[in-house]
Structure 1
Amino acid sequence: MTALPIRRRRLLAASALAVAVGLAGCASSEQSSEKSPTANSASGTAKLTIGIAGDEPGLSLASGSSYVGFDIDVANYVAGKLQVPTANITWKVIDQAQRVEALTNGSVDLVVSTFSITTERQKVVDFAGPYFVAHQTLLTRRNDDTITGATTLDGKVLCSAAGTTSGDYIKSHYAGKITLREVPTWSECVRNLHDGTVDAVSTDDVLLAGFASQSKYKGVLKLTGSGLTDERYGVGIKKGDSAMVTKVNAALKEFISSGEWKKSLEKWVTPSGYKIPSPPSVG
């Protein structure tokens, strides 16, 4: 007669324990999501098309059917603060030379693609940021000791992605001294360097560090010389949309102050050996 009540009490205790564990598990999951560098807890039907690169290791690189890297984390975080869930982001890979046009013709809403803020670009598009400051330098073959910096570029063939501040700097400062070969993407430049058809690639140090650390280039290519310029990365926005600039600036400030900026860089960029700088002042 006493066995049934005891069994019931055990079943009730087990059920209560299962509910408690389940609740604890839910709380743990929510906290984990909030701490993730790519956290985007937005919900709803709002959508964004964001222009990105797809071939920049550590910054914006294709990984299966998705993209990973610091720029992707920046874009995803900003989208979340604009109440656009990750599932509603359309990632649009565009060449460096297409970034301004993509914004002006409306094919993208934002551009997050190592997009340097310059006076010339600000005439036709707006920027939020900067969210990172890089420095233009050189990538050369490891066994080439003829190039030690900018002063040893005479007679050399350099590669740059078309439509970039890096290419513009080389053309304005080394015209007649070097041959500049412009191609659509940085990955093509690096392949040309590896194959021996150009002598060096010149662009931002954080980008070149990512390429140099890839397994197929590690020990073969090296960063050379000191920074030629400061490159202030901004989020590109259609000209005149001051409300969007304000919102994105607020999101970038929070991305930095929350510690997610540093976490993302440590995850994606630090493995290349690149030393993480102090965060810039946004706005």
Structure 2
Amino acid sequence: MKSNASNVGEMEDFLMNVEFQWIDEMKRSIALVNWTYIPCFVIVMLGLLGNLLTICKIVLDKSLHTPTYTAIGFLAFSDIMSLIFSALSWFTNIRTYLIATHYHDQTFLNTQDMFYILELMVYHVSLCQIILLVVLRFGLTVNPIECKIHASTSLILIASAAIWIYNACVWFTFRVVFKTLVRENRNQFLKWAAIVEVAVRCLAMLVTLSIMAILHYLKMRAIKTSSVKCNVKRRMNQIVAIIVVILAFYGISYLLATIVMFVSDRTVTAYFSTFHQIIGFVHFSSNPFVYFIFAFVCKKKS
């Protein structure tokens, strides 16, 4: 039987590696994090309110029952879920609590697993919803007649539902495989699982940014040959630029925080993870406001 000291050491190693995130003790290790709680809390509240009002406005206003606003509504919903899970992980020690509570739990899928699946799922759903909206706007701008015929509100509803189902299946399968392999060869697999998750997150962010940048470039080229007014072109360009910059900062901050976590101590990691979390809150909170303006400007030109 293992000694208590051995069990404690094993638990600390598990907490620092298996979830690949910033545990509560590290976040509270420096004063920087403490004063960021208030502005982060304000950003989260504004984001939740903004996303919720966006959904209510779209549902209640029949004139907004269009493909673009439907996509915006689903994006707002995914951002609400992302804010909730990010806030739970940042303002509470729920991750540490779940890991410690279920450390010796032999249940195949427990509360910790479901939290992990939902957290990863809403992160990638939000990115997929952004891609859906950008692709839709590209089609409505470059080939409006054909796109309006095929891209109905029902199609956007089906596509958004498919995004949620697809991500649920992917991350449920990932977690099942993860737990199966951990049981067989835990020490070796934890390291590779961390690398895989980081790589998938970074790849998803790069793909999203690339699609947005390419489609925006092609769309602006198409607009130059159309009769759209120059001031509308500039406003569209500025709004999409804001979206790309915020998303790029969020992706870069995650990459930097992850690299620092593996190569530096807890104090330095806390600085980078705090920066990443603030950018994340801003990203998920600003989407409804930015995209609502984006859709309104695009609607004015048609």
Interval of TM-score (by shorter of Structure 1 and Structure 2):
under 0.3
Q: When the two structures are superposed, what TM-score results if normalisation uses the length of structure 2?
A: 0.24
The structure whose Rg is larger is: 1
Q: When the two structures are superposed, what TM-score results if normalisation uses the length of structure 1?
A: 0.25
The structure whose residues are more often strand, as a share, is: 1
The structure whose residues are more often helix, as a share, is: 2
